[in-house]
Structure 1
């Protein structure tokens, strides 16, 4: 009996001890001062951390009884702490109300949302301080998840399929993106800075350090300095998120493609004030064409520190490229497009590689005075060096034989850029005010030597594409070694390869919100002053110009999910080019008018945008149609481009993501420069398709044994394509273009496997141009690969 009593007492004591050790649970929600849910807020307690979900809710389990400090925090906002005491087995409710505004929450969302096709808020570098739905502008954002799902590796690697009306020719391969939209090449930006320092643009960004890409259509110049009225794209790089995480991935693909990327994101201090992020990549890749290769490496560390209301972010990016010579993708023939095999090359296997070293340093300082006012100042230094060669025929004969030439192309670029801008909001009576005021300045210098070339073939022994023979002139491979002993700047002066510009601008914008901000009127003005020299103009006597550019916008919310807008904007940007008469190159001017409607559907899961626009531009430079070597430019009299664009992106239903777009583009010359005989009124703007349509559909299984597995497919379709050059000797259009892609994927917990097949139909795809070599009309085209694949495996930690 005593044994039974002792056993019973022991069991009761054990139960009491177990109950005393039963863990507690914390549940709660996070909102901002206006009651709006705050997703992606980090909640931490004793080293345990979770993130609030889309509704601002969170739960932390398995916490021992005791007294703790629980904290809510995120990059760019004030952290909030609470002292709590937990009893064994208790479920405690803890709610946080953050003293922040919508703008602060917007920055948190952009930093944290990584798994969606639809992003509703622009980055802070666009300076808009409002949701995309309310902005009087057509802005489309390609998210990081889209980039991963489509296995995009650089800005030139198919990313434009996700934006209506965007076109890119293959001329620069994976060296420069040179994206066209609404009748012109759009400007390239990174984190709000215009990083174009010559016509050819910056080295394409490797996607390893890119968070997302914002395509701003139409009158983009006001927000981000000088910009083309056709639009711009803004590459937003990855920053520290305040969440300890990381990812390593490996990709293998056709044509000996091997690629590794690393993303390491960490808090360096327990309080989350000092943050660090590192992204790096290495890639070896050959081509479907003979003798081509492109090896790339990138390294991008970022350090962020927050003290009180001030956040400082310092970023360094270095990209190195080793590739075959520029222009090696071209095929030239006299019998029409596509008359040689898709893998054929008119290049040469022994030509030395082109090497590029691209570096940038950016420092960004943000200071929040209170929940309504924030000041941002940032400066950047970009440095670019290139040593290489450019392949181009010096002669094409009537029988299709040609003389291949290799030209030197050494270049150096430097850019010093600075911006300061103030965002604020306040009310006067029933009127809401959103203020943007700022200053931009830049000093850009570019020097290049392309003034020497050597022929690989001779008139007596030309290159015969029907029976190619390579390596016929071994001396060509070292022909430029002696020339390179002379400093680049001296060679650039001799080659008339100096380009430079200095500019500064002041701007002020106010958006007035009426009727509880349902109606929004934008009034803005920008004054820009610039001086520039190019292509033989002495730097000591630059061309100077200045202009005031107004902007008017109107946006009305029909309901909380639907808005209509109208905008009028003027553009004023410098241009670079060589005119045959050495005349002064004037800045480009243009006017854009646009109307549109935007709508969020089904609990904001996906969005549609429909816009109609008309752009008129004066003084625009374009390649001289009579110059097959693309050295000289000509000035158009006036160009008019108008069209319709439709974009859809987001989650249609649970697990089903869709991107779909369509564009109708009508661009013509409305006034011709009498000095340019080869371009007439009514000529169609080259390098575009009258109709473009794209889609990407992805479905993920949500339940069952195959949960996390899925399928994706998409197409790109171009109808009514126009060759990429002005030509009056042959107006033969390019054939319509259709490419079908698709793949399978599986992801669960920390592992994601993605496989895609591109050009599933195995079609001979290309874009092309027409050149005149003397009296010989020559077709030039660049092929895309036949059916090819990529397979990636990513591990998150």
Structure 2
């Protein structure tokens, strides 16, 4: 309440002085009269800019009166300028006509490659209409161009290197577990929370337009205020341009991959648009008998009822056939890194695990008027897995390396139904512009899993980790799982339903230089757990933020947000888990450099979380609920065009995450599991601008982590992990529409791994040694 009173007092003060402003708007067209989408219109000598939409419209609001030069630019086109004089309370209409035809403009857009590492605006699925620079929160956007340059295949690979403080923890090859600010963050897709207990299938990058990492709670989203944040996968949508790209990749470990991206119109009047992405992949591993073969089909249709109304329907089907889950783990009673990095417990005759992942999103958008828009979205997701997992049952007591290998059934079915409706827009009351957002969202998630059948892999001779011999398990000894009954009847069920309503008002004052955000969310949730029964939770969570533009290129901000996250499950004794509650306090400074060609963000934060789950060290298959954790740290991100031919991503994060309250006093003050205190990443990409080497590109990047705690650690000493350093590089050549890329990962051929102690032994996952991927892409 003290914080709210202080903010309201500030509002009273700023209302005393307000200057009158004006607006500038217009339409950009090509010489044949067609709208010129994607053209940038800027006010010369400032960092203010706008991008023409699909109808060629651009708009500057609340501009201080004065003399301005408007510049319409697009890489590959000659800039156009117009001198204007703006009076107070005036709305100027300034139109541009480019000399190029619509077809020529499309060719320019396709070939443009400027500022490919920086995205100044958020996707509409995040519901905010405020640019990243003015948002009172640390939000980082990873563009599709970055993913392509690094040859990232899916969320299990190097996406996390592009954002400060983000790491990927151990995985089972079917879903990505991403940590940030001290805990796991939720997976979102197009603004929908798609997180399941063990899912969804890690998204393939062939369907991804961008990935938005939102740090800290975001009660206006369907995150129910997860205090660490979430990542939002934004899938590719039709653009209205007729274009396409085909790409082929060959790589180490018998990797073969092909993708096709088609974008265009299905009707002569341009109202029915489509996007189709196809991917097929065969990928091995540095471990024998380990593979992950996948294909993806992702069609999208968009119908434009009018200039103001559109309906988009997208379907994504991902299929994965992989080796038995868990084959990527190594085990030893004598410590980490005790075995070669190609060690595996898999057998060549084990049946594969197969996953069918389907999703349908239907989105209706309607522009009510120039300032107001409403959006409705429905989604259905289905995750169907049939397979098995590997995990040891015991080592011999003499620690000679004799390992009993266990395998169990792992069938899973996850179904999620979701809906959301929200409106956002602007209204002016006196001296204040209100940027409003209000909406409702709800979801219902069912997850069924069967782990009930387990066997021991019995070979003709004992399996010794120090001298493994494979192919000695007779066919008669291989597990045969009983799937005669439906998974819903033989599996355990986790069920959760949630509904929420929220409202947010961003009050913009002093020609939009000062922005105060006041928001609140009411959430109710019901959780059904097979071990603890039914729990009902509800919470009211406020949000207060302040952002101030020192000048058009620099803003400072502060944020206070509360969190509420219902939790499924129960501990070893069958007691259900209480919901996570807590708060986040954050402050930062953001700056655009050299007219926005690159930007930087510096943020500090403190997150307090109650009722956090972690693995039970006495019962590793269960979790326990800690009393309280506190995470605080600092983050620094830089991304964009440092010079015309040099792109840079650099980030550093300091994370201090400790247990602050617990029923066991010995654990208080120890590091939280799975935390790296220091994380830094860099990716530098340079394009040679001079003949005869023009078209040649060189890239180099590292990933560095220091003071790593393991996943099950409670002491931070002998069980901690060593420092991590990985160096990657790439060489590219581009001419016209052809691009050839050679990426080499782990250039120093380091033995890299992550893991944890597990009872009387240790487990860890190794990364591949030096490996390469060669990609050839053609745009048309």
Tell me the TM-score normalised to structure 2 length.
0.87
What's the offset of the Cα at 1:724? 1.4
**Alpha-carbon shift at residue 270 of structure 1 (Å):** 3.4
Aligned partners of 2:42, 2:58: CA distance in 1, in Å?
Answer: 15
What SS class does the counterpart of residue 463 from structure 2 fall into? coil
Report the counterpart of residue 313 of structure 1 in structure 2: 312
Shift of 1:45: 3.1
How many matched pairs? 707
Partner of 2:468: 468
Out of 565, 570, 585, the position equivalent to 2:562 is 570
Structure 1 segment 123-134 matched on structure 2, within 5 A: 123-134=123-134
Structure 2 vs 1, CA of residues 603 and 477 (structure 1 numbering), >3 Å: closer, same or farther?
Answer: farther
Match of residue 552, structure 1, among 544, 551, 554: 544
Q: Distance in 1 between matches of 2:735 and 2:153?
A: 23
The whole-number CA distance in structure 1 between the counterparts of 2:729 and 2:364 is 43
- Is 1:685 paired with 2:672? yes
Counterpart for residue 149 of structure 1: 149
2:652 matched to which residue of 1? 662
Displacement of 1:127 in angstroms is: 0.7
Distance, in Å, in 1 between the alignment partners of 2:748 and 2:266 is 50
Going from structure 1 to structure 2, the CA distance change for 1:79 and 1:512 (only over 3 Å counts) comes to: closer
1:780 to 763, 772, 775: 763
Within the alignment, does 1:378 sit opposite 2:373 as a pair?
no
Question: Aligned pair in 2 of structure 1 residues 477, 437: CA closer, same or farther (>3 Å)?
Answer: farther
How far does residue 603 in structure 1 lie from its aligned partner after superposition? 1.2
Among residues 230, 233, 243, which one is paired with 1:232 in the alignment?
230
Residue of structure 2 in register with 1:291 after alignment: 289
Q: Tell me which moved more, 219-228 or 636-645.
A: 219-228
Q: What is the rounded CA distance, in whole Å, between the counterparts of 1:754 and 1:56 in structure 2?
A: 34
CA distance in 1, matches of 2:387, 2:737: 42
Q: Do 2:29 and 2:35's aligned partners in 1 also have CA atoms closer than 8 Å?
A: yes
The Cα offsets for residues 589-628 of structure 1, whole Å up to 9 and x where unpaired, read as: 1211100010000111101000001001111111111234
Moved more, 460-469 or 651-660: 460-469
- Specify the alignment match of 2:417 in structure 1: 416
| Partner residue, 2:706 | 719
Task: Judge conservation of contact 2:684–2:701 (CA < 8 Å) in 1.
Answer: yes
Per-residue deviation, 1:669:
0.5
Question: 1:227/1:403 Cα in 2 relative to 1: closer, same or farther (>3 Å)?
Answer: farther
Taking a change above 3 Å as real, the CA distance of residues 328 and 244 of structure 1, as seen in their structure-2 partners, is same
Secondary structure, in 3 states, of the residue corresponding to 1:161?
helix
- Is 1:302 aligned to residue 300 of structure 2? yes
- The corresponding residue for 1:502 is 497
- Deviation string 1:331-372 (CA, Å, 9 cap, x unpaired) is 011222111111111222211000000001110000001110
Deviation at 1:680, TM superposition (A): 1.3
CA distance in structure 1 between the partners assigned to 2:137 and 2:508 by the alignment: 16
2:606 maps to 614
2:37 and 2:52 in contact (8 A); partners too: no
Q: Distance in 2 between matches of 1:428 and 1:472?
A: 78
CA distance in 2, matches of 1:651, 1:521: 31
The residue that corresponds to 1:12 in the other structure is: none
SS of equivalent to 1:710: strand
Taking a change above 3 Å as real, the CA distance of residues 716 and 650 of structure 1, as seen in their structure-2 partners, is: same
Partners of 1:727 and 1:771 within 8 A in 2: no
Cα distance, 1:374–1:77 mapped onto 2, change above 3 Å: farther
CA deviation profile, 1:208-258 (whole Å, cap 9, x unmatched): 010000000112343334242001000000000011100000011100000
Residues 37 and 55 of structure 1 are in contact (CA less than 8 Å); yes or no, is this contact kept in structure 2? no
Structure 2 equivalent of residue 757 of structure 1: 744
Cα drift, residue 735 of structure 1: 1.2
- Establish whether residue 277 from structure 1 lines up as the match of residue 275 from structure 2: yes
The residue number in structure 2 matching 1:402 is: 403
Higher radius of gyration, 1 or 2: 1
Contact 1:76–1:311, Cα closer than 8 Å, also in 2: no
Q: CA deviation at 1:505?
A: 0.4
Q: 1 CA distance for matches of 2:454 and 2:122?
A: 46
Q: Give the distance between the partners of 1:234 and 1:438, measured in 2 at CA.
A: 19
Paired residues of 1:273 and 1:307 also in contact (CA < 8 A): yes
| Aligned counterpart, 1:795 | 778
1:533, CA displacement in angstroms?
0.9
CA-CA distance at 1:157 after TM superposition:
1.0
Q: What is the aligned counterpart of 1:626 among 614, 618, 624?
A: 618
Q: Is the 8 A contact 1:594 1:612 kept in 2?
A: yes
Q: Distance in 2 between matches of 1:569 and 1:464?
A: 53
SS at 1:262 equivalent = strand
Quote the Cα distance in structure 2 between the aligned partners of 1:234 and 1:453.
36
Q: Which sections of structure 1, spanning at least 5 residues, go unmatched?
A: 1-32, 58-71, 81-90, 100-107
Deviation readout 1:153-210 (Å, 9 max, x if unpaired): 101111100000011123323x211100111000100000000121x23111000010
Match of 1:734 among 721, 727, 731: 721
Q: C-alpha separation between the residues in 1 aligned to 2:753 and 2:30?
A: 52
Report the Cα distance in structure 1 between the residues aligned to 2:551 and 2:52, rounded to whole angstroms.
32
Whether the aligned pair in 2 keeps the contact of 1:768 and 1:779 (CA below 8 Å) is: yes
Structure-1 separation of matches of 2:477 and 2:589? 57
Q: What residue number does 1:579 align with?
A: 571
Gaps of 5+ in 2: 1-21, 44-50, 60-77, 83-92, 97-105
- Secondary structure at the residue paired with 1:125? helix
SS in 2 for 1:208: helix
| Cα distance change on mapping 1:750 and 1:124 into 2, 3 Å | same
SS in structure 2 at match of 1:147: helix
Greater shift in the superposed pair: 290-299 or 114-123: 114-123
2:73 alignment partner in structure 1: none
SS in 1 for 2:120: coil
Contact preservation (8 Å) 1:454, 1:476: no
Change (3 A) 1:335 1:168: same
Aligned-partner Cα distance in 1 for 2:546–2:126: 18
Match of 2:522 in 1: 527
Closer, same or farther in 2 for the Cα pair 1:285/1:646, shift >3 Å?
A: same
Distance 1:379 1:209 in 2: 19
Given the superposition, is the C-alpha separation of residues 73 and 345 from structure 1 closer, same or farther in structure 2, using an over 3 Å criterion? same
RMSD (Å), alpha carbons: 2.6
Distance 2:642 2:333 in 1: 49
CA contact (8 A) 2:746 2:771 kept: yes
Aligned residue in 2 for 1:454: 455
Structure 1 runs (4+) greater than 6 angstroms displaced:
76-80, 93-96, 111-114
Deviation at 1:520, TM superposition (A): 0.7
CA distance in 2, matches of 1:224, 1:76: 31
How far, CA to CA, are the matches of 2:35 and 2:590 in structure 1? 37
What CA distance in whole angstroms lies between the structure 2 residues aligned with 1:462 and 1:545? 51
> CA shift at 1:771, angstroms?
0.9
